[in-house]
Chains A and B, each alone.
Chain A
């Protein structure tokens, strides 16, 4: 799997003034890459990740997965691709309150196929330390637990690419380490991981680091990077 973004620009208009949240960013990730994007709040990390995940089209530039321009796909194809090949963990996640933890995770798994691998769901819950919450409803979960449910949901379809926006923001150190470690194992298994985070723990697992500053994406080859 090759994720390739060229000259990605995403502009917003605030009080009549247009500004680039992401400015001419070039980005690529291969299967097995563990990429960390580091940057201050408001630097454009989330905007970039949304664009890479096929959720929000850039104003200009292109994003391709295996040579297929994402935003040239129709909604049906792009949604299917998002479901089957991209596991996206947004910064602020939500679960459907009418479904249990297991049902929320199975929702993503059963959307385009009828059969759900129940054992895989259980295994994911166990890996993330929330197997005891399988039958709980989201209203009874803490922020950290909900965060882990959304991670499990993103992983349930065995995606080629995992894009995570601050995946450990509500987690304690131990659980953060578990998540990054899980991502590390997935990267070793050939999954491309892209993580935007403030959590320095992530750097120890990554093989590529970017800095995001005022909308510009800068490859980091110094302080944190392993390249």
Chain B
């Protein structure tokens, strides 16, 4: 074997192994199939309190402030009124709020909605499939989807007014 072929042969074998291992490590580090920042937001369809189907893809071209919540969760109770305050202002600017309840009874969700006088769409993830696809844990978790349907942020922090506003600015189309 001459020097050139030898070098080529060695490089090829090393390259194959490095590629295979990098891919394996990449796969082992990323949680399986959970949507993360940088991914296209997985489309979903859920039912709102009036029985209407709401699809994520309905909001194509708009920024979506996707908020996963439960009625018992204290930080959710804190951030919901602030979200409501900013909702109408940013709706005009092309930002939607979609609050995904994590599969509670309609009675509890309706009750919560009227108590906090929420006007943005609330859908219910009865099967937990959406929670699983987005890897939601703990509550609340907010996922910001930009106008191209890409996830640009995912946070489980309790959000004060200013942060929500800042987020809305981030996904304003």
A, B co-complexed: no
